[in-house]
Amino acid sequence: MPVQRATFTRPLVAVAMVAVSTLCALAQKAPVPTRVRGTIESVDGDTMQVKSRSGEDVRLHIASDVRVAGITRISLADIKVGSFVGATTVPGPDGGNNAVEVHVFPEIMRGTGEGSRPFDLKPNSTMTNATVAESVVGNDGHTLLVKYKDGEKKVFVSPDTPVVTYVPGEKSELKAGAKIIAFVRPLPDGSLEANRVSVGRDGLTPPM
């Protein structure tokens, strides 16, 4: 058992590094993109061509030390009291916080980016990473009370809201057809390099 735990923990540490770096990138505002969401169209050596969600063709250099995390779908029922989650929300018609997506962090990633901040997924969207303190099941979904060090928030999660989690990933997953979020940095020649990539498993589009 100790050997199995060590084997599983090491890749999750790498996933945690991807998530922490991801949140740092999201918090920065720069004149060049810090992330590219889209689908890989082709890979040639250390270069991949990506069709962004907005329809742009983006050429990315793959860093030699690129870190890859898999994103896989789980069920709404997998969100438990005590789970540490990230929720992208937008204001609802009643002034509440409607979840666009929720990702459940593995236990080793608890505390990653804790807090609530503006997010760029949709207009007026917010990313909140916090612990689920209460979960109320209603006829039309779950209402979560999530608490973080500076406050708390009620989040409504409908049955149609994507719920996902992180799993260890491999560089070999960067191939044509993969749906990704690539976290990029500009190189001196003006090109972009991807040093962190989240890849949707089984055709999943990473919802965050």
Tens-place pLDDT, residues 33-90: 688 999 999 999 999 999 999 999 999 999 999 999 999 999 999 999 999 999 999 9
Question: How far is Cα 207 from Cα 54, in angstroms, rounded to an integer?
Answer: 15
Inter-residue contact 155 to 88 (CB < 8 Å)? no
What pLDDT does residue 14 have?
Answer: 53
What pLDDT does residue 17 have?
Answer: 55
- pLDDT at position 131 over 90: yes
**pLDDT bracket for residue 21 (50, 70, 90):** low
**pLDDT bracket for residue 139 (50, 70, 90):** confident
Delimit the CATH 2.40.50.140 region(s) of the chain.
2-71+170-203
What pLDDT does residue 84 have?
Answer: 98
What pLDDT does residue 34 have?
Answer: 83
Secondary structure (3-state) at 36: strand
**pLDDT bracket for residue 18 (50, 70, 90):** low
Average of pLDDT values for 130-137?
Answer: 96
Average of pLDDT values for 145-151?
Answer: 95
Q: How far is CA 3 from CA 6, 7, 11, 41, 171, in A?
A: 5, 6, 13, 39, 24
Architecture of the domain spanning 2-71+170-203? Beta Barrel (2.40)
What pLDDT does residue 138 have?
Answer: 85
- DSSP H/E element including 25: helix 2-27
Q: Lowest mean pLDDT: which of 10-14, 24-28, 86-90, 193-197?
A: 24-28
CA 98 vs. chain centroid, Å, equals: 17
Share of the chain above pLDDT 70, in %: 84
The token duo for 27 is 């918090």
Question: How far is Cα 147 from Cα 130, in angstroms, rounded to an integer?
Answer: 5
Single pTM value for the model: 0.78
